[in-house]
Structure 1
Amino acid sequence: MHLADLITNPATGRLSHSKLWANIACASATGMFVYQGVAGTLTAETWLIYLGVVGGYSAARSWIATRRDKGAGDA
């Protein structure tokens, strides 16, 4: 995997704004999560929110991809 794959459309190779901003959001959330862990201010609520948002986003992308692949086979 190339670093550019995180922000480009695999079909066209062009910049994908949805991928770019989603990865910026996940990186920002991860940065704050790590910062709070190091600073000793990480709470259980922050764990749940972080895992729900970042994990939920990943699960949603996977689900959408499987639905898209299933729909392509029906045509």
Structure 2
Amino acid sequence: MGLVDLIKNPATGRLSHSKLWANIACAAATFLFLVDGWRGTLTADVWLIYLGVVGGYSAARSWIATKRKEANNA
């Protein structure tokens, strides 16, 4: 998997704006999470929000992909 796979639609090979902006948002959140950790200002609230947003997004995408695959096979 190359970096370009993070932003392109696997079915068409074209740029996927939803994947592009979702990955930019996750990268920005990760950067700020790391900056807070480096500065020593990381709180439990920030941990929960970061993990909920980034982890939740990833889990939701996997769940949706599974449901689409099930629907296509039915």
Q: TM-score range by the shorter chain?
A: over 0.9
Q: Which runs of 4+ in 1 moved over 2 A?
A: none
Gaps of at least 5 residues in structure 2 are none
Verify: 1:65 aligned to 2:68, yes or no: no
Q: Map 1:28-39; keep pairs closer than 5 Å.
A: 28-39=28-39
The 2-side partners of 1:73 and 1:64 are apart by: 14
| Aligned residue-pair number | 74
User: Root-mean-square deviation (CA), in Å?
Assistant: 0.4
Q: Structure 2 length as normaliser, TM-score?
A: 0.99
Counterpart of 1:12, as a letter, is T
Aligned to 2:46: 46
Aligned to 1:24: 24
Identical pairs, percent: 73
The 1-side partners of 2:39 and 2:22 are apart by: 26
Aligned to 1:10: 10
Q: Structure 1 length as normaliser, TM-score?
A: 0.97
